[in-house]
């Protein structure tokens, strides 16, 4: 399927491109791109001083660059800004960044030639993925520059999985290296496409993760004999919250018809908070996700180039502004990180409820043979370790600040750093939830024959058991954790 940009895309569109769908521009969008490029040409012809068009960048913004050197300026911006470090950004995330960048150009205020956009669309069409180091962007510059390297025949890329240099990558997809014109170098490295694309990928993963968090909690609640009165619709309505209500509906549906829950009714006055407060923690995360999605959609609808060009050929306009600064994105990513760290932390606490012989009537550590076997004892350690890492990652990036470029850029919002932290927390949360699902399934194995599971939780239990068997200290648990984590990362709940 091809996603066509006429009006601004939404985050789901970008996430679908990240997953392999194609992107195209509607005729009106192509005309906006071409018109903005004609405006840049007229600005150059008229000799109007414009940042990054005929001046240096950053603290060199007052240094005029002669017309004969403007192509060199654009190329040098790409080469000098391509200084990222560390492990490469995953291919699907690079696709999301490219798609977000095309969406920004499609607003018609950047000034790049249509050929630039055609090349970027060709990258997506032919699975030509530039190698982009994951670290180095305080805002957006290094990630974007490494993508732009391949446009000019530099850098490295993978084409259909084969690694090659930029020039060979362009040849493999049938296009020539580009010679960048005025402003194109700056347009290719600035804007908020990087953090926006990463957040689109993150949102798609968060939506699925939160559904699995509800599923894991339901399976654990059933194994632990949870008291359903805490999730009664009338009770939850006492605290008005769309998220709480939504999670309550899900839990009641998953546990409807459970013999285990019926048999446990009245066994305790109330459950521990890791069981009783599931709607509150998961619901808060759901609401943060919805607000973050609205912010990302707003970003995709925004012009994030600096400078922005506008006007007519008779009256070309250029505006130096700060639209490439994205504090809202950094704050959204930080908020999501905190929310998911809490969801994962509560999952780790539920795992303890399953393995801890002091708080349940199950075999100690869910071991098949006590003493000789350790069962899920150390799997819980892994979950606790990852939860602690998440707590450290939940410290906000948006408040880090920093001063760069000779005091010219004396405020940094760190949206890309925040997005990378969010993706790391999602990774950890998926592992923790995988461990909870495995532990809950193990607990249900010991409860077999007592009472029946609900149809909803039985489907979840069976989906786990179809992928990993009951554990009897007969294999490394690491393999099982990876298997279940891959399953919940790629598949919706049954």
pLDDT in tens, 319-365: 888 898 999 999 999 999 999 999 999 999 999 999 999 999 999 99
282 preceded by a cis bond (ω within 30 of 0): no
The per-residue b/e assignment along 278-292, b for 16 or more CB within 10 angstroms, e otherwise, is bbbbbbbbbebbeeb
Q: Is the pLDDT of residue 406 over 90?
A: no
- If you average pLDDT over residues 143-171, what whole number do you get? 96
What confidence category does residue 411 fall into, taking pLDDT thresholds of 50, 70 and 90?
A: low
Q: Which two tokens stand for residue 219?
A: 């399976």
Quick one: average pLDDT of 150-179? 96
Give every CB contact of residue 148 below 8 A, 6+ residues apart in sequence: 78, 82, 185, 188, 189
Please determine, for residue 399, whether its predicted confidence score (pLDDT) is greater than 70.
Answer: yes
pLDDT at 207 (0 to 100) = 97
In tens, the pLDDT along 256-288 reads: 999 999 999 999 999 999 999 999 999 999 999
Is the pLDDT score of 233 beyond 70? yes
Better pLDDT: 388 or 316: 388
Question: Mean pLDDT, to the nearest integer, of 415-430?
Answer: 96
Residue 1, pLDDT score: 80
Instruction: Give the per-residue pLDDT at 71.
Output: 84
Residue indicated by tokens 């071991």: 367
Q: Is 74 helix (H, G, I), strand (E, B) or coil?
A: helix
Q: Exposed, middle or buried, 11 (CB in 10 Å: 0-12/13-18/19+)?
A: buried
pLDDT at 64: 64
- Compute the half-sphere exposure of residue 236: CA atoms within 13 Å on the CB side of its CA: 25
The SS3 of residue 170 is helix
pLDDT at 49: 76
Spatial strand order in the sheet of 128-130: 128-130, 156-159, 162-165
What is the CATH architecture of 201-310+326-490? Up-down Bundle (1.20)
User: In the prediction, which pLDDT does 297 show?
Assistant: 98
The DSSP code for 408 is: T
Q: pLDDT (tens digit, 9 = 90+) per residue, 70-88?
A: 788 889 999 999 999 999 9
So what's the architecture of 2-190 in CATH?
A: Orthogonal Bundle (1.10)
- Of 250, 219, 261, nearest to 462 by C-alpha is 219
Q: Which of 114, 120, 117, 112 is nearest to 184 (CA)?
A: 112
Give residue 410's pLDDT band: very low, low, confident or very high (50, 70, 90).
Answer: low
pLDDT digit string (tens) for 15-47?
A: 999 999 999 999 999 999 999 999 999 888 887
Residues facing residue 133 across a β-bridge: 88
Buried b / exposed e along 338-372 (16+ C-beta atoms within 10 A): bbbbbbbbbbbbbbbbbbeeeebebbbbbbbeeee
Confidence of residue 63 (pLDDT cuts 50, 70, 90): low
The predicted structure's pLDDT at residue 382: 98
Consecutive H or E run containing 14? helix 11-18
pLDDT band at 390; cut points 50, 70, 90: very high
Concatenating the DSSP letter of every residue in 91-142 gives: HHHHHHHHHHHHHHHTTS-S---HHHHHHHHHHHHTTEEE--EEE--SSSHH
When the pLDDT of each residue in the chain is averaged and rounded to a whole number, the result is 93
Q: Model confidence over 446-473: pLDDT tens digits? A: 998 889 999 999 999 999 999 999 999 9
What per-residue confidence (pLDDT) applies to 407? 62
Q: Where are the domains of the chain?
A: 2-190, 201-310+326-490
pLDDT at position 438 is: 98
Please state the pTM of the whole predicted model: 0.95
> In the prediction, which pLDDT does 89 show?
96
- Of 480, 374, 476, 388, the C-alpha closest to 435 is 480
CB 38 within 8 A of CB 314: no
Distance (Å, whole) CA 87 – CA 78:
20
Percent of the chain with pLDDT over 90: 82
Per-residue pLDDT band at 139 (split at 50, 70, 90): low
Cα–Cα nearest to 416, from 189, 105, 180: 189
**3-state SS record for 25-40:** ECHHHHHHHHHHHHHH
């Amino acid at each position: 399927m091809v996603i066509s940009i006429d009006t601004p895309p939404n985050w789901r569109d970008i996430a679908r491109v990240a997953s392999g769908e194609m992107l195209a521009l509607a005729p009106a969008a192509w005309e906006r791109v071409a018109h903005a490029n004609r405006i840049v040409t007229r600005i150059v012809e008229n000799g109007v001083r414009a940042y990054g068009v005929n001046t240096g960048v950053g603290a060199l913004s007052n240094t005029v660059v002669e017309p004969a050197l403007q192509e060199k300026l654009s190329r040098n911006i790409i080469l000098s800004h391509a200084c990222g470090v560390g492990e490469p950004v995953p291919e699907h995330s690079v696709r999301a960044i490219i798609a977000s960048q095309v969406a920004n150009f499609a607003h018609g205020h950047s000034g790049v030639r249509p050929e630039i956009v055609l090349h970027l669309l060709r990258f997506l069409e032919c699975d030509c993925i530039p190698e982009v180091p994951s670290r180095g962007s305080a805002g957006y510059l290094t990630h974007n520059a490494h993508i732009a390297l391949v446009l000019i025949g530099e850098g490295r890329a993978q084409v259909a999985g084969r690694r090659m240099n930029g020039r060979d990558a362009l040849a493999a997809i049938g296009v020539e290296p580009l010679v960048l014109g005025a402003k194109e170098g700056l347009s290719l490295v600035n804007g908020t496409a990087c953090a926006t694309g990463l957040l689109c990928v993150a949102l798609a993963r968060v939506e699925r993760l939160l559904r699995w968090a509800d599923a894991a909690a339901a399976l654990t609640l059933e194994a632990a004999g949870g008291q359903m009165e805490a999730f009664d619709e009338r009770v939850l309505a006492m605290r008005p919250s769309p998220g709480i209500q939504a999670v309550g509906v899900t839990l009641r549906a998953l546990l409807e018809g459970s013999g285990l829950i019926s048999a446990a009714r009245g066994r305790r006055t109330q459950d521990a908070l890791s069981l009783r407060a599931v709607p509150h923690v998961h619901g808060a995360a759901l609401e943060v996700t919805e607000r973050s999605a609205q912010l990302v959609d707003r970003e995709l609808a925004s012009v994030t180039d600096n400078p922005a060009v506008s006007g007519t050929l008779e009256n070309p306009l250029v505006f130096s502004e700060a639209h490439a600064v994205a504090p809202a994105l950094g704050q959204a990513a930080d908020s999501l990180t905190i929310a998911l760290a809490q969801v994962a932390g509560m999952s780790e606490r539920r795992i303890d409820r399953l393995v801890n012989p002091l708080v349940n009537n199950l075999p100690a550590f869910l071991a098949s043979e006590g003493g000789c076997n350790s069962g899920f004892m150390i799997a819980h350690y892994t979950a606790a370790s990852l939860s602690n890492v998440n707590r450290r990652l939940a410290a906000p990036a948006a408040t880090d600040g920093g001063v760069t470029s000779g005091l010219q850029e004396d405020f940094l919002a760190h949206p890309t750093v925040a997005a990378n932290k969010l993706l790391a927390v999602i990774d950890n949360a998926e592992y923790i939830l995988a461990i909870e699902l495995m532990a809950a399934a193990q607990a249900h194995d010991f409860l077999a024959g007592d009472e029946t599971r609900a149809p909803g939780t039985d489907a979840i239990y069976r989906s786990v058991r179809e992928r990993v068997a009951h554990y009897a200290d007969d294999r490394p648990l690491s393999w099982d954790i990876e298997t279940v984590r891959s399953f919940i990362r790629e598949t919706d709940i049954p």
